[in-house]
Structure 1
Amino acid sequence: MLKFFRSIRQRLLKENKFKNYVLYAIGEILLVMIGILLALQVNNWNESRKTKSALKDTLKTVATDLQRDTIAATQLIKIIEVNQGISDKIIHKEITIANFQEFPRSRSLVTLYQPFNIQTKGYDILRRTIETGTSEEDSLFADLTQFYSLFIPNIDKSNERLEKVVLDNLDDFKEFSWFVDWAQGKLTDDMIAYFATDEDYRKKVAAYNVLAYGNHLLLIKSYKDNAKIVLERIDKRLKDD
């Protein structure tokens, strides 16, 4: 192609057709510029397509994380609510030495640590995407960032508080003569008396309730409910695209 253009220029010069040569040269420059612009446009289109595909993959990863989280939350909520029912019986003095063995969980209510760990693989990718500026302003991405920014620190903090209370309670249990039997799952009369009638244990259960059911459980439920709403928005976006 370049050889063809060169031959035309040489012919026009030999024929002293300077005006035609100038016009031809201008036309050639315009053709080159058009070619460059088309190449840039194609490149921009390819980059835009790659970015859109990457963002779509990110949303799919976030959706997978949320699906796993909602399943884990459902299972954990069931466990915590069962324990809450037994805790209420302890607080209201409905569990006695006589019926203690009907409620085997009552001896471990304040030493149960049930953390809820949010899956963040998709969110981590999302943050890097936003920080690098490869995504345009998008209400869904903004809402996802706000969603995770709100729940992650609060749930992590709740996990830490529960863990501390559980460890403190274990340290207290070590002081009792029945601790080794308790750790091995054995029952003694002194142990039954403590868990069924001791006011100290009743207070521990009440204090644990404040964190486990008054805070931790509510946070998990709220996360699950909001995660479902976010999932619906992501599914709609993926279908629309």
Structure 2
Amino acid sequence: MIKLFRNLRKKLIEQSKVLSPASPAGRYFFYAIGEIILVVIGILIALQINNWNQEKIGHNLERVYLHNLIGDLESQLLELERQRNNAQFVKEALKRVTANINNGFSEADLTQYNQDMQSIVITRTLNLYDATFQDLKSTGNLNLISNETLKQDILNYFQLSNRDVYVIRKNAEGYHYTITQEFMGSLLVNFDLKGMKNRLSTAASLSDSLSLVKFDPRVESLLNTQLANRLTDLDNQQKVKNMVSNRWYTIEINLQFSNEMANRTLKLITELKKELN
């Protein structure tokens, strides 16, 4: 490149000697024009090289972001799988609770019933893995994604995913409200701790106190009796049925959103991998 500039400069000087006027001022004028042209050409070439370097850096950074997006989406698939597995687990618990209410209870059913009720009452929210997307937005690097169709698909994906997470969270909040207002009160077990006060006061620690309550046969017997009596009450049975119905409905809605989100996630992963190849 330097050799080319030197040859070009030499040729311009030789041409200026032939074509330039006899006066020194004229010769220097042509020489200055040649120097200016060379400087301009050099600047343009330097700018072009800088642009090439910036494009290369941007392209490399784009690939890093695409790889990171794939990692987030694969984590999202695992999260959705956990969500669906949990939903199926709760549905089995709901079936057993319904069967217990319809067919009656035995003492042997109470332990499983308690476990099922815990599974039904506890809800699971859906986490959204969007760290890379948030980074793209906050830094303005979303424009690094050169494929406009892919960029729009990414935006649409996270817009819909935020909607799904919001719906699932609101379903959980609504269900918890129903449990608190209509159901938990019907299963509150109140019993007298008479006779245990002295034992608890002599316990060495809080954990020892809890162990005394947990493993005391009187407490377990009283809880089972109270629970069995309440479960045979028709009003309580209807409340349990309402809760089961409500829970089943929210699970079906959540499964629908989770399955749709999983399909969108797989589709976007395929697009991202195609762009990287």
TM-score by length of 2: 0.69
Structure 2 gaps, min length 5: 192-212, 215-219
CA contact (8 A) 1:111 1:169 kept: yes
The 5-angstrom pairing of residues 221-240 of structure 1 reads 221-238=259-276, 240=277
Q: Which residue of 2 aligns with 1:162?
A: 172
Q: Percent identity?
A: 16
Higher relative contact order (CA 8 A, sep 6+): 1
| Higher alpha-carbon deviation: 139-148 or 160-169 | 160-169
Corresponding position: 1:219 with 2:257 = yes
- 2: CA distance between counterparts of 1:118 and 1:51? 27
1:205 to 196, 219, 244: 244
Q: Which amino acid aligns with 1:153?
A: R
Question: 3-state DSSP class of the match of 2:128?
Answer: coil
Runs of 4+ in 1 over 3 A off after TM superposition: 15-23, 88-96, 99-105, 128-137, 174-177, 184-187, 192-197
Classify 1:86/1:135 alpha carbon distance in 2 versus 1 (closer, same or farther; 3 Å): closer
Which amino acid in 2 is paired with 1:189? T
* 2:104 corresponds to: 96
Could you tell me which of 112, 116, 136 is aligned with 1:126?
136
**Is the 1:110–1:204 contact (alpha carbons within 8 Å) kept by the matching residues of 2?**
no
Amino acid at match of 1:39: A
Letter in 1 for 2:71: T
How far 1:179 moved relative to its partner? 7.1
Corresponding residue to 2:189 among 170, 174, 178: 178
1:44 matched to 2:51? The reply is yes
Report the Cα offset of residue 177 of structure 1.
Answer: 3.6
Q: CA deviation at 1:100?
A: 4.8
Whether the aligned pair in 2 keeps the contact of 1:65 and 1:122 (CA below 8 Å) is yes
List runs of 5+ in structure 1 lacking aligned partners: none
Q: CA RMSD in A?
A: 3.4
TM-score, length-normalised on structure 1? 0.78
The structure with more radius of gyration: 2
Shift of 1:202: 0.9
Larger deviation, residues 192-201 vs 74-83: 192-201
